[in-house]
Structure 1
Amino acid sequence: MIKIGDKLDLTLLQPTLSVKTTEKVIRNQEIQYDTEYVKDDNLRVGVIQPISEGKNGLKKVTIQVTKVNGMMTDEQVVNEEIIDQPVTAKARKGTKVVKGEGSGKFAWPVASPNITSTYGVRWGKLHKGIDITGNKKIMAADNGKVVETGYKNDYGNYVIINHLNGYETLYGHMSKIIAKEGAIVEKGEQIGVMGSTGDSTGVHLHFEIHKSGGLQNPLKYLNR
C-alpha cells in the first residue's frame, strides 16, 4: 500500500530489440439461430407459442494476432467460414406490435465494421463484448427503448438499450451521446458518436449483447 510521501519509479524498461510476431488463430464459434414468427390473431399480446425448435449453427473464425515481445498488441478477424448453417425456429406470436420491441435479429452498430478485439478472456480478465472500428456513427442494433445513458470509468460515455424481448445491448466509449434516456429507437437509428472515453486504448466502439441478464458473444449474432 502506498502512502503520502512515497516516491514511485514508473520507468518501464524496454528491450534493445523488440520481437514482433504475427500468427493466425482459428476458433469455432456458434451462430445463433433466428426465430420466424407466424402472426396469430387468437393470441394475446406478448404470448408466444413454439411451433418447432431451432438449432445453432457453427462457423470457423480466423483471427490474426500480433504480438510484440510476447504481448498481444492487436487482433483482427480476417475470415469467417460457415461449417453448419443454423436451423430457424418457428413460433406463433400475437399480432399487436409492442412499441420498441426488437426483432431479435441484430444489425452491425457501425457501418463498414472492423473487429479489433473479440469477446473472451483478455489480459487476465473477461472482455465482455467486442471492439469495433469503422464509420464513427453509432447505430442501434435493433429496435428498443433507451433505458440508461451516462458515464462510467470502464465504459466511458455509454448507452444501454432494452429491446423488450429479453435482450439488451450496450454501446461504450462514445465521444458524444445522442440518444435520450427513455426514448424509443429503431434499428439503424443513430444513438451516438464513436470515441475513446473511459478505459479505452483508442477510438472504437465497445459493443455488448445481454440475454436475460447474461452476457453473450456478439459474434454469435453478427455475421458478415
Structure 2
Amino acid sequence: MTKDRGIAYKKAMIEQFLKKEFDRYFGRGGRISIRKRQRFMERVTSKISKKFGKDVMCLVDFTKRGFVTLISPPLSESTDKGKLTQSFTHPQVVYTTHCVDRFSERAQTTDNCIVALDVCLDEALLTYGIHPEHLVCSVGVFAFDVEAGRLILKTFISFEMLSDDQIQNFYGVDVLSVFSQDIISENVADSDIILSDEFPALMDGPKNQRGVTP
C-alpha cells in the first residue's frame, strides 16, 4: 500500500508539472503543429528525467481540448544489491541503479531510460543462454544474475567500449543469427563486424590501379 501511495503521489506531481509546462508552452491556444508537439515532448521529457528521475514513462496524446497523459513511475524496491527497478514490459526483469546509470551514460540518453532499456532487452533476451551471465544486443552487452526467478540486470557495456577480443567473443555467428536482418549489411565492406569466414572474400575484392584492395 505504501508503494502504491508513493507511485500515486509521484504520478500526480508529474501530471501537475506537465499541465503547467503545457500552459506555459501553448498558453495562447490555437492549432498545435506536429513540430511544436515534438519540441514540447523533447523539452518536457528532458525536464521530467531531471526532476523526477530517468525511470519515468510519460506518454502524451494531444487533443482538441489540450492533451491527455499516461504516466507510469516504475515499481522499485530496496535490496542488498541496492535499488532495483522493474521493467515496464518484462515482469520478471529488474534493473539495478548501476545498470540504469551506466546505460544512460554509455548510450548517451537521459530520457525514459527504462523504456530504452526495455527496447534493447527485447533483442538481448534472444541471446539468453549463449553467453553465461551475459545478454547481447546490437548496441552493447548486459551482465545479469538470476535470483528467485528474476533476471537482475547488473550493468551495461556499450559496443564502443568492447575490445576486439570481446567483440569476437560476444558477436559470433550464434548471436548475429538471432538479430534482425535490418542490422546486417549486404555489403561486407560496410559492416562494423566481419565474420572470419567472410573476411577472405573482402580481401579478394576488386583492386585499384596500384593493385591494392580498397
Report the structure number with the largest CA radius of gyration.
Answer: 2
What's the TM-score once normalised by structure 1's chain length? 0.22
Q: Pick the structure with more strand per residue.
A: 1
Greater fraction of residues in helix = 2
TM-score (norm: length of structure 2): 0.22
